[in-house]
Each structure stands twice: as C-alpha cells, then as structure tokens.
Amino acid sequence: MSILNGYKFDTEEDAVLAVTACDAYYGIPVSPDDVTQHYVEYSQAIYNEPTFWYIVFNETLVPILGEPTEFEVNTNIP
C-alpha cells in the first residue's frame, strides 16, 4: 500500500472532468498539435476494491480542485 495526497474520484468520468477543468484553467493545449495535451493526468487504482481514479497532488492544482485528501493505493499486484 502507498499513501498518497491528491484527488480521488469514484468514476472515470469525474476524473476526466477534473483533467478538463485543469486544462481549461491553464490553457492547455495551446493548439491541437502541441506535444502537451493535458496539464495533469489521472490514474486508476485497479488493485483497490472498489476501483477508483485519482490525480496526485500538485500545489498548482489547488485553485482548480481544492485541497487534497490522503488516501491509500494498493500497489501490491495480486
């Protein structure tokens, strides 16, 4: 198990909405052919029950996503 600070989402759709909000706030991408297409990426905690999606905390995310929470991610492959 790893303990992370960040943003936890029950659905992938909610994680995508958070990424979209960060992209809009920071103006990413500047153009469709930019190398950087997203300001932040989300991950799936596939070995947790139930599965959830999360974004690891970064100070620059606070204006968009608020204060982070602490949660556990199971990193042990069954």
Q: In this predicted model, what pLDDT tens digit does every residue of 33-68 receive, in sequence order?
A: 888 899 999 999 988 889 999 999 999 999 999 999
Q: Does residue 14 form part of some domain?
A: yes
Domain range for residue 69?
2-73
Q: Does residue 29 form part of some domain?
A: yes
At 27 the pLDDT is: 94
Q: Does residue 44 form part of some domain?
A: yes
Which DSSP helix (H) or strand (E) runs through 63?
Answer: helix 62-65
Question: How far is residue 38's CA from residue 48's CA, in Å, rounded to a whole number?
Answer: 25
Question: How far is residue 8's CA from residue 78's CA, in Å, rounded to a whole number?
Answer: 22
Q: Does residue 78 form part of some domain?
A: no
Tokens linked to 65:
């996503």
> Which alpha helices (H) appear in 4-53, and where do they start and end?
12-26
Q: Does residue 48 form part of some domain?
A: yes
At 32 the pLDDT is: 85
Q: Does residue 69 form part of some domain?
A: yes
Q: How many domains does the chain have?
A: 1
